[in-house]
Structure 1
């Protein structure tokens, strides 16, 4: 019997809690190296600031800047009723992050509208897991579900995960936006789904 999204989330979050700081930092450094090698000078990259045991690091954002990329970070807010709004975006500048809702860090205003996502050639998406067909498992808040349909159809949608979080199959729903790639510490950037042969 296939596990539910909730069951998979619980397992992965429990596994991430056992990760040592040394292992996390080594994996984050590997992710930064792989990512830098796959970004072209001048590209716009929508990224995120990892929190807790999420894969990645602020140094990964700095590495993108060194490659000449314009880096945009998400601004997560809810409407007055508590429903997630599409993510807005702001330019990343080293040393300029401030505390934000949900325990996140973000750039201060000014913020761009959600539609700015369409400028990105690469969108790095936080994930708990992704399968080889491109189905991504997030934390279930819904911010990315409401935002990713605004991406350029030619953009690379990249789920950033640990190697063991790239799995054969995850439960999916009709509204899920498929990832085109996964980025893992050992394997680097991998095409998913129809592009898996690239």
Structure 2
């Protein structure tokens, strides 16, 4: 994706995070269907070449919606490789349960209140702790900075996932999927935020040595 990077020079607290989220979402919302589709194909190619994904047996992922960086091509490629792919189901308290992906027919569209409809696994749910068995966790986000700190959407669901992993002593590779202009110098970070190992964009992958 080409475009004007969002300015981010004055990181601060949650107020600054909300402002940045609106700005990044505003850029995404102007993307065309063609750009989103082309970006998804390129992103999948780069992601599949990551060593952590190449040797993974279980990957916790998610189904992109709207103008998010597309994940469908990546999910299907992982499935073709024989990887066990876990997808989240949003719980009433914003925590995530997990189910197994078995292709497009294994998804159901779910609308949670006034939120955007999500595509979730339609089969048996395995419990929130199923993510502990993942070798790689693919994270949604809106931006990542030079330290590997991720700016999420603010719902807190993946903060719970990361806390669950930490408490269990599980250390999967954390990878965020973004557009090129969403890799920035710095985003606001709080004490509970954790860096990711790598970011994958339509133009390539970048690893963060401090994570």
Same fold (TM over 0.5): yes
Q: Out of 90, 93, 100, which is 2:99 matched to? A: 90
Check whether the contact 2:106–2:123 (CA below 8 A) recurs between aligned residues: no
- The 3-state SS of whatever aligns with 1:177 is coil
Spell out, residue by residue over 1:40-93, the C-alpha distance to the aligned partner (whole angstroms, 9 max, x if none): 3551000000010000231220011122211000111123xxxx22x1110001
Partner of 2:154: 140
TM-score (normalised: structure 2): 0.84
**Structural RMSD (CA):** 1.6
Match of residue 2 from structure 1 = 10
Structure 2 alignment gaps of length 5 or more: 1-8
Q: Residues of 1 paired with 2:45 and 2:67: CA distance?
A: 19
SS in structure 2 at match of 1:176: coil
Partner of 2:134: 120
Runs of 4 or more above 4 Å deviation: none
Find out whether 1:58 has 2:72 as its counterpart.
Answer: yes
8 A contact 2:62–2:71 mirrored in 1: no
Alignment partners' CA distance in 1, 2:55 and 2:151: 30
* Contact preservation (8 Å) 1:126, 1:159: yes
Distance in 1 (alpha carbons) for counterparts of 2:201 and 2:193:
21
- Distance, in Å, in 1 between the alignment partners of 2:124 and 2:194 is 28
Matched, 1:180 2:180: no
